[in-house]
Structure 1
């Protein structure tokens, strides 16, 4: 195949326009074009009102070599690279696997893809999830959002699918990916029921409710390949002898022997982090960020980004990415922007309040929301203990719970009032989407003084980039504390803990990912490392 890049077409082009552009670029007739597929589609919005779609396509033609010779100087036409992911090892059909099975703790995207790859390689993993299946978990989560009744083991953070299930389902990452792990993740999502467009559109997403069915289908695939998934199976101890993993103990007392444990517990498994620290597993504090969710009319963001072409179906709802470096040395940035979405209750511990954002596939809710957060570091803000970042999170989550009325309503404030340092008394044009509800307060009391000062400086600065960002009626909802894990479970080049053989810290909770795609990629890498170690030591 040939790959052609930088084919630019207007938003309203018809179906035949792309093929015509390919024929013109190659200088061939339609009879000499066997087929083509879109590898990537993005848009160029540098000129508002004149937005162009930009395509990369793979072309099949009997004239491939002739065209490569003829167009050798054109850097936009090259042989299509092989983007196929290849398993590093696999149990052969005539071999029998009877070794100690690898255990995966957690069924977020990292644990799910670690389990899937181990199953595809014939290693029959046992996957343990402290929460419930995705359907049962969804019932508990929606009950919390409507009635304020928190289930501590089945919520936005815990349960099949992980925290990403109740999010925008964003599927993009900035990690280098020469081995096409990301392509593998996307292809498996498509096999499980995702729209095939995620393979080629720029900044793809799945959407919350579609993720539920996809997660179920991934589970079925793992089980069909000999893997097991056990819900409400909380690992309370990892048994270690002479710095080597021996097995795991569950809350009900069951013990499972193993020499390979994937630790993919997510960023909110605070009890697990404490247990690992007490067992002597090396843990260090790492930076993370704290702040609020901010909501604007989605129409305002669309107009600012797309101008007169706002609302075009090929563009969808606009997003943004912002950063500001403050005078007090802090950086404020937008995080997990959810176009046409909702702010959601994401608590996992009684008496503590946390927010997050999510969007459905259509992204058609009235409000855009994003976290606007302030970076903090262990060297400056929580230097005393590897787990001190968790204590800091808990302190401000408890404060938010108190400000909201101790019933899981969130504290909120209008942007104009926040900037003026006065309590809000009533909502304006923008109505908050957070459930169970928002109680208007002065958010200046809900985060450290340095964070409040940085946010008050950054919001007007963001308004210079997106006119209306600092509109008086925009709504801030507190608090966002779980942007990433506050700890890192340090691992070596073999993906094992630097002081515990057989323990493979992975994904966002261990400090090695930051979203669905990067977590899935990390799960694949860890599964490969286990397979290479396993096949080197065990005669299958």
Structure 2
């Protein structure tokens, strides 16, 4: 048990060493009675641009914690006891075969890590390459336009998050988040992610982190296999009996399916295998780039560039009454890059990415519009996926092939004309770009909703709709286009032993929430089965 103290405030120029003194004052204690002070959360209060403060949540220990809390008589001071408990009774059923995890994104990675820690010796299969080889494949694509459809920005060790900003923000309140952040720090992520209000790792550090987690899984008795694609499920009497990977049959009674939101051929295989899935809404749109300096000035005013402040971000939402659609920013990357994120031949999709330092010239974000079953053609559970494919194909053709992206300046976009030259913003997209009319690769209701949103966002961030800002098409992979339905044991309602997990199954939206879902599924298996003992 600890004492949690909220709303400890530092001015921007006050040194962090003053925290202990301020905590002691709030608790009416001598400083020397405070033990093991730990920052739980640090957030920036920039509501008044020219009066910026840091707000802290602090945990401390004391010999008389209950008495101290009562004495403080302050709503910002309370006892804190809730922590993630991974100690629970294992199930009594015996595993005939090692549990299998398919996919090494956050859900699969953390499911495998927990299983390995508890003695279940998981088998992990990832269709893409290990992160070093995967990085080489991705760099080749960005340089030459030569796409490896099995190992790319979407597929490979670490999942799609490996080539992203590495955001660790989540809206879910779950003690498993602490387990995840601590595991990331243990594997090389900065310790600040434990307490930052908007933590991120960055693609450069994430690559090292996922390798270390992989090696920990192996050291604990797990196996990890790359370039290993799930091709078929084997069912007997309504139960999972095995899988086919790279043409080889593997006996399997428990399978955590953590495939990610872009495994379209796997969705097709599941559909043919009569695994129940349903259409799910998502969003599509573009990436927009502004000078990072402009975003910093809007957020921080005269303090823009202050050494204690990181590159500023933003989060914007708008509801189009004309089209009854949400328009919002997604996966905003301060000081980042717009990159090619295709996973299928002749289909173009973009994404955002930042390194840990977030020190590139441009800020970028997806600006997307909600779409749903009413927009898809047909009742097939894969109709949303085909919707994505259709517009990605249009974008590929519009760019002229070789994964060259269509771009348009915001000023020209709002006036329905093709741009002819760049202004003050240089696009960062790789492999390359061409001036095109984005109306030719997005639905009209998306285009018109984006225009409304841009104008509204400009009222909140001065210069957001500046004529020189660059829009790059198109963003389609905001979330999975399907949900693989599961029961109270987190198994597929269609096949006993199949555990859909994470973002690709439609149960998460980001690195941390996907990892949390992976832990939940691993726990479900452990509560039913005892650790795997056969060698």
Place the TM-score, normalised by the shorter chain, in its bin: over 0.9
Q: Give RMSD over aligned pairs.
A: 1.9
> Where do 5+ consecutive residues of structure 2 fail to align?
none
Contact 2:403 2:431 (C-alpha < 8 Å) held by counterparts: yes
SS at match of 1:459: helix
SS at match of 1:50: coil
1:100 aligns with 2:101: no
Query: How high is the TM-score relative to the length of structure 2?
Result: 0.97
Q: Which residue of 1 aligns with 2:109?
A: 112
Contact 2:91 2:527 (C-alpha < 8 Å) held by counterparts: no
Q: Which residue of 1 aligns with 2:76?
A: 76
Contact 2:406 2:433 (C-alpha < 8 Å) held by counterparts: yes
The one-character-per-residue Cα deviations of 1:65-106 (angstroms, maximum 9, x if unpaired) are 4422322x31111123242432334699xxxx8731111000
Where do 1:286-365 residues align within 5 Å?
A: 286-326=280-320, 327-365=322-360
Q: Which residue of 2 aligns with 1:144?
A: 141
Partners of 2:145 and 2:132 lie apart in 1 by 19
1:209 aligns with 2:204: yes
Q: Which residue of 1 aligns with 2:164?
A: 167
SS at match of 2:124: strand
**More off after superposition, 389-398 vs 25-34:** 25-34
Q: Which residue of 2 aligns with 1:40?
A: 41
The one-character-per-residue Cα deviations of 1:14-36 (angstroms, maximum 9, x if unpaired) are 24311221121122222323341
1:266 aligns with 2:263: no
Partners of 1:77 and 1:130 lie apart in 2 by 49
SS at match of 2:347: coil
Partners of 2:192 and 2:181 lie apart in 1 by 10
Q: Which residue of 2 aligns with 1:2?
A: 3
Q: Which residue of 2 aligns with 1:505?
A: 500
Partners of 1:417 and 1:47 lie apart in 2 by 33
Where do 1:361-440 residues align within 5 Å?
A: 361-440=356-435
Q: CA deviation at 1:44?
A: 1.4
Partners of 1:219 and 1:298 lie apart in 2 by 35
1:453 aligns with 2:454: no
Contact 2:90 2:529 (C-alpha < 8 Å) held by counterparts: no
Partners of 2:45 and 2:398 lie apart in 1 by 44
The one-character-per-residue Cα deviations of 1:90-125 (angstroms, maximum 9, x if unpaired) are 699xxxx87311110000111000111111111110
The one-character-per-residue Cα deviations of 1:301-321 (angstroms, maximum 9, x if unpaired) are 111111111122322011111
SS at match of 2:262: coil
Residues 205 and 108 of structure 1: is their aligned pair in 2 closer, same or farther, counting only changes over 3 Å?
same
> Where do 5+ consecutive residues of structure 1 fail to align?
none
State the number of aligned residues: 533
Q: Which residue of 1 aligns with 2:195?
A: 200
Query: How high is the TM-score relative to the length of structure 1?
Result: 0.96
Contact 1:249 1:256 (C-alpha < 8 Å) held by counterparts: yes
Contact 1:45 1:52 (C-alpha < 8 Å) held by counterparts: yes
Q: Which residue of 2 aligns with 1:87?
A: 87
Contact 2:276 2:485 (C-alpha < 8 Å) held by counterparts: yes
Partners of 1:49 and 1:466 lie apart in 2 by 16
Q: Which residue of 2 aligns with 1:464?
A: 459
Contact 1:88 1:528 (C-alpha < 8 Å) held by counterparts: no
Contact 2:95 2:532 (C-alpha < 8 Å) held by counterparts: no
